Amino acid sequence: MNADANSIPAIEVEKLQAGYDGDVVLQEVTFSVRRGEVFFIIGGSGCGKSTLLRHLVGLNAPMAGTVKFFGQPFTHAALADRRALLKTFGMLFQGGALWSSLTLRENVALPLEEYTPLSAREVNEIATLKLAQVGLGGFEDYFPAEISGGMRKRAGLARALALDPEIVFFDEPSAGLDPVTSRKLDELILQVRDTFGTTIVIVSHELDSIYSIADRVIMLDRAEKGVIAEGTPRELAANSRDPRVSEFLRRLDMAARPA
Amino acid sequence: MPGSLESGDATVTAIEIDGGLDVVLGGVWQVTVSRPTWGKLLAGREPRRVRLRTDEVAKWDTSLLLFLIEAQEWCRVVGAYCDTEALPEKIRTLLGQFTKARETSVPFDRSESFLTGVGQATIETWERARTASTFLGESVIGVARLLKRPRMFRWHDCFEEMQQCGAMALPIVSLISFLVGLIMAYQAAVQLRQFGADIFVADLVGLSVVREMGPMMAAIILAGRTGAAFAATLANMKANEEVDALETLGIPPVFFLALPRLVALTLMMPLLALYANCLGILGGMAVGKGVLDIPPSAYWIETQSIIDLSDVSTGLIKAFAFGVLISLAGCLRGLQAERSAAGVGRAATSAVVTSVLLIIVADSLFAVIFNYLGW
């Protein structure tokens, strides 16, 4: 692969305007995500983090603006091009969003059956491998209803990783998880990035995760309807003059500071 | 003899070195395109030693791992030495994870013996019967509480449900009742005409609509329309833990959720049945005018002469009972539902089946009772 291709950002968002039913939630949002980066979208409740994510993955159409992946336009792309791009994504939904009528193995196998020329035996092998990778070896034949919330989330990640995507999106990965499981998920995210060079986009307000794995963050604000800060978390915590940003990011510092 | 395979952008080259095989992988390995397989590369050779290298790989994913796993597996089976030292650390870690997962993976056996199946089905049936009777009891207590303290009742919810299951059901009830009246009149006309007894179409249609078909058709429509909706709504609320939230507050879900629906449907059902009666008679009248040349006034006078108050009231008593049965079945199935998407669907289906079954059984009971009473 030549250097040119590598310098194109994984995601470019330009002047994106997003909202529902005429209500504008985000006004002219512009940012880009580099390849192989762990990128966090942070902000308080109701600031449009999840809305932005839904627009990035194409679940909602933007009111204006464009989203490009690896230099290719996604927003107004033809159906075939869109499908080709969708193949390169994986998404972990908040609750795991596993299909309840399928076993974990079948959940992971479905995207493989849909998009790869692999034989049934190979699909099975990959599903087992992916589940093992997220620490669910031995649970292949369980149904989602038979396992805990944290396990469901990890199984969701295994499904998101099934096609070895170039970009994986996470919607609140640590929501509803205990701190230990949450840490393990963070480690898993880093492992995936380090092994496959995957680009990671995470919507979260979990400060622990932000400080431990984020390469770069953008912060959204409800009143501003857009990005109010961009940079590494430590940079922002140390240098930002915006009280909204420092208040959000310094809470952990306060907690961690020795008495 | 070196051998080399290419598939898509993935390449693999095998070089034989004194009885061993040096396997060099290269190119781009992606799971979404086809890849070389170990069996093809081997082409019948049986090396004693295999060395795996990925020096020339530009990009890889699980597809590469699959190939390596195939090679490792083959070596294990034939007892050849598999040298993975030259592989990058990342790949070896993943291979290790996979091998470990395979060793610890325990097949999950869901099969059960016939006796276990029978036992579980019995327990389940018993459990369902128990929840059904508890629900019935709670509903009765709920009604008593409503009569004692009507101010505590959720009248707002009840009125909304009345609108949903009553007024909003008018178009479909109109259409079906009118058509049922029409169909019956046609069937009757064919027979009665042979005897020149055309006018008795009005008697036949009037009596059967008012005593039987009006309440019955309205009940079946509401079982499909409202019973299913009750079950789906309550099942979804149960899946969302809304029902649990009520219980933790000490508010009985039956009183809060089921009772407004029960009252709404029970009050609306007789009204809809009356309305269905009118439309059914109108359907008969249309056939009388259009096909048999009976003037509507004559048809109406004939209908009036045959139907008396006891016919209308037996119909209404039935309708009232059907309303109770449909709403009980809908709410019960909703509250008994499993907490999943499929559970919601099953609850709705089960509500309709139960309601229709109960309607027919109740109707035949009424037939016997009314016959005995001479109504």
* ipTM (interface predicted TM): 0.75
**Cβ of residue A254 closer than 8 Å to a chain B Cβ:** no
Model pLDDT for residues B13-57, shown as the tens digit of each residue:
888 887 788 888 888 888 888 888 888 888 878 888 888 888 888
Q: Is B113 inside a domain boundary?
A: no
Looking at B103, B133, B149, the residue that finishes a domain is B103
Q: Which domain holds residue A155?
A: 96-164
Question: Looking at the structure, do residues A174 and A254 belong to the same domain, yes or no?
Answer: yes
**Residue-level pLDDT at A169:** 93
Rg for chain A (alpha carbons), in Å? 19
Q: Could you tell me which residues are beta bridge partners of residue B25?
A: B12
Q: Can you give the pLDDT at residue B130?
A: 94
> What totals of helices (H) and strands (E) does chain A contain, helices first?
10, 10
A4: pLDDT strictly greater than 80: no
State whether B144 and B90 are in the same domain: no
Q: How many domains does chain B have?
A: 2
Q: What is the CA radius of gyration of chain B?
A: 36
Predicted confidence at residue A132, as pLDDT, reads 85
Contacts of B163 (CB under 8 A, 6+ apart): none
| A159 at interface of B, judged by CB pairs closer than 8 A | no
Among A138, A164, A190, the domain-final residue is A164
pLDDT band with cut points at 50, 70 and 90 for residue A3: very low
Closest Cβ opposite residue B98 in set A129, A138, A194: A129
Task: Look at A249 and A187; give whichever has higher pLDDT.
Answer: A187
Query: Is residue B39 less than 8 Å (CB to CB) from chain A?
Result: no
Tell me, yes or no, whether B181 and B53 share the same domain: no
A107: closest CA among A97, A98, A120?
A98
pTM for the model: 0.75
Residue in A133, A142, A164 to test binding to B, most B beta-carbons within 10 Å: A164
CB of A112 within 8 Å of a chain B CB? The answer is yes
Out of A87, A125, A194, the one facing B69 most closely (by C-beta) is: A125
Kindly tell me the sign of the dihedral angle through the C-alpha atoms of B233, B235, B239, B244. Answer: positive
**Residues A235-244: contacts with CB under 8 Å, at least 24 apart:** A244/A219
Does B292 reside within a domain?
A: yes
Q: Residue B1 has what pLDDT?
A: 44
Q: Any idea how long chain A is? A: 259
The pLDDT value given to residue B89: 86
Same domain assignment for residues A55 and A179: yes
Query: H helices within chain A, ranges in order?
Result: 3-7, 49-56, 79-86, 104-115, 120-133, 149-160, 179-196, 207-213, 233-239, 243-256
Q: Are A252 and A216 part of one and the same domain?
A: yes
Residue A111 to residue A107: CA distance in whole angstroms = 8
A26 vs B193: CA distance, rounded Å: 74
Residue to mutate among B29, B35, B64, B108, with most A CBs inside 10 A, is B108
CB contact under 8 A, B341 and A100: yes
- Gap from B68 CA to chain A (nearest CA, Å): 12
Task: Find the domain containing B219 and state its range.
Answer: 120-373
pLDDT digits (tens, 9 = 90+) for B54-104: 888 888 888 888 888 888 888 888 888 888 888 888 888 888 877 777 776
B301 shares a domain with B243: yes
Chain A residue numbers with beta carbons less than 8 Å from the beta carbon of B110 are 141
Q: What is the mean pLDDT of residues A236-240?
A: 80
pLDDT at site B165:
93
pLDDT at A253 over 60: no
How far, in Å, are A60, B360, B366, B368 from residue B374 at the CA level?
Answer: 66, 21, 12, 10
Q: Is the pLDDT of residue B292 over 60?
A: yes
In a domain, B112, yes or no: no
**Is the per-residue pLDDT at B300 higher than 90?**
yes
Interface test with A, best of B28, B34, B62 (most A CBs within 10 A): B62
Mean pLDDT value of segment A253-259: 49
Residue A6 has pLDDT above 50, yes or no: yes
pLDDT digits (tens, 9 = 90+) for B173-226: 999 999 999 999 999 999 998 998 899 999 999 999 999 999 999 999 999 999
Specify whether the CB–CB gap between B89 and A126 falls below 8 A. Answer: no
CB A200 within 8 A of CB A170: yes
Report yes or no: A41 and A202 within 8 Å, Cβ to Cβ. Answer: yes
Helix count and strand count (H, E) for chain B: 15, 5
Question: Which of residues A120, A148, A164 is at a domain's end?
Answer: A164
Residue where the block lists tokens 């929501």: A175
pLDDT at B200: 93
**pLDDT averaged over chain A?**
85
Contacts of B66 in chain A (CB under 8 A): 118, 122, 125-126
Distance separating alpha carbons of residues B80 and B49, to the nearest angstrom = 5
